[in-house]
Amino acid sequence: MTDAGGFVALNAAPRLSEQERLLRQLADMLNLPISVFRRRTDPTAEGPTARECAAILAAFSRIRDPDARRRCLAKVERCADA
């Protein structure tokens, strides 16, 4: 995935901090730019905040029932398509 700052070459990855590497992996898995996890300077910018992303991931990880997770994911995907 690319971001406003471009993308990281594979040979540059070892120089990234562990936190940066994990944030990039998470952003890639969620198909979001890594900037979503950084503090916004513009409060009117669109898209989820880091706090919102963390909250939904934390709540989703607490769902133990596989069927409930599927229903939750389906609902979030429907909201995303709305």
Return the domain boundaries, the chain: 1-38, 51-82
Is the per-residue pLDDT at 55 higher than 70?
A: yes
Q: How far apart are CA 12 and CA 14, in angstroms?
A: 6
Residue-wise pLDDT tens digits, 13-50: 556 677 788 888 888 887 778 777 776 656 666 777 77
What CA–CA distances, in Å, run from 42 to 3, 49, 79? Answer: 17, 11, 24
Per the model's pLDDT, the better-predicted residue between 25 and 3 turns out to be 25
At 12 the pLDDT is: 54
Q: Which of 50, 52, 30 is nearest to 39 (CA)?
A: 50
How many CB atoms sit inside 10 A of residue 75's CB?
Answer: 10
Q: pLDDT confidence of 70, banded at 50, 70, 90? A: very high
Is the per-residue pLDDT at 51 higher than 90?
A: no
pTM: 0.48
